Amino acid sequence: MTEQKSISARAWGELLLLALIWGGVFLSVRIALNEIGVLSAVAHRALWAALVLWGLVFVLRLPRPKGARLWGVFLVMGLLNNVVPFTLLNWSQLHIESGLTAILNSTTAICGVVVASLFLADERLTPRKLAGVLIGFLGVATAIGLSNLLNFDIRSLAQIAALTATVSYAFAGVWARKHLTGLHPLVAAAGMLTCTAVCIVPLAWWFDGPLTLDLRLQTLAAIAYYALAATVLAYLLYYRVLAMAGSGNLMLVTLLMPPVAIVLGWAVLGEALPPRALLGFAILALGLLILDGRALAWLRNRV
């Protein structure tokens, strides 16, 4: 069951900070893609984040993972949680606005509920959750636009790629629940990102050429942001907020990230989203609120 806790002022502050950090990922990735390839962008993120996380594991003297089975679990997790979604989301940003990518990415919570109900016995799809899922998918359909699905083009394909990334995230959540429970989060993250780097660096080398730091300053800053701030720092912050506020309250990050990405995309890149995208996000946000359940509980208490 989803854990619900009251949110302290400190937890609210760190929750908002986490949303700001993750909301800025889409802008930083888009800036990096102006100079490096899609796979290279993923490789930089995984490689530098893994190195920093292993440094933390050794400094904190955490137990190192052992055994082929555990590393196999890390490999699957790296593919589902990093290689596939990062690559799809990065590629989609070449063809659609960063704000729209963030809106579609917020569907992760919706997909997560559906996939969890199929594979986890204690995550059944209740009528409330089903209503939230259906409304959420209506929001996605509105954001994409029926005309874009009928008149299929590269922009439509990019939106489908972004949605496919959220399905991969959903399966990653189930995999982590089944196989990584009880493992220290830093160790799990370091192992996962190491396997991600092992997979993606050779692919990036093959398609884009060797990884290099001989890049423009703004590209280096973008890489540093999404590899260190939005991966390492955000991961640490995520578990702090989880401990303080509970997993249910963390769903609020899903609602807070897209507005950050939309504003940054407009202010820095001059992006302007079509009205249907904003309407779609509003409908999707309603679906997420229904999934969360507290808004409905609050209304029932007031009636």
Model confidence over 222-240: pLDDT tens digits? 999 999 999 999 888 887 7
Cα–Cα distance between 13 and 16 in angstroms, integer? 5
Dihedral class, residue 243 (left if φ above 0, else alpha if ψ from -120 to 50, else beta): alpha
Domain-embedded: residue 7:
no
Cα–Cα distance between 215 and 34 in angstroms, integer? 11
Please tell me the pTM assigned to this model: 0.89
Domain that holds residue 293: 98-182+273-303
Give the other-Cβ count within 10 Å of 218's Cβ. 13
With contact defined as beta carbons under 8 Å apart, do 137 and 291 qualify?
no
Taking each helix axis as running N to C, give the angle between helix 98-105 and helix 25-32, from 0 to 180 degrees, rounded to the nearest 10.
Answer: 130
Domain-embedded: residue 226:
no
Q: What is the pLDDT of residues 256-300, one digit of tens each?
A: 889 999 999 999 999 988 888 999 989 988 888 887 776 666 566
Mean pLDDT within 9-35: 91
* Total domains, the chain: 1
Percentage of the chain exceeding pLDDT 90: 54
Q: Measuring CA to CA, which residue among 145, 142, 165 is closest to residue 155?
A: 145
Q: In Å, how far are 14, 30, 43, 54, 206 from 202, measured between CA atoms?
A: 36, 22, 9, 21, 6
Domain-embedded: residue 39:
no
Domain-embedded: residue 242:
no
Domain-embedded: residue 164:
yes
Q: Does position 3 have pLDDT exceeding 50, yes or no?
A: no
Q: Measuring CA to CA, which residue among 55, 33, 4, 58 is closest to residue 226?
A: 33
Domain-embedded: residue 25:
no
In the structure, what pLDDT confidence band is assigned to residue 7 with cuts at 50, 70 and 90? low
Cα–Cα distance between 41 and 173 in angstroms, integer? 23
With contact defined as beta carbons under 8 Å apart, do 298 and 290 qualify?
no
Domain-embedded: residue 141:
yes
Domain-embedded: residue 160:
yes
Give the other-Cβ count within 10 Å of 134's Cβ. 13
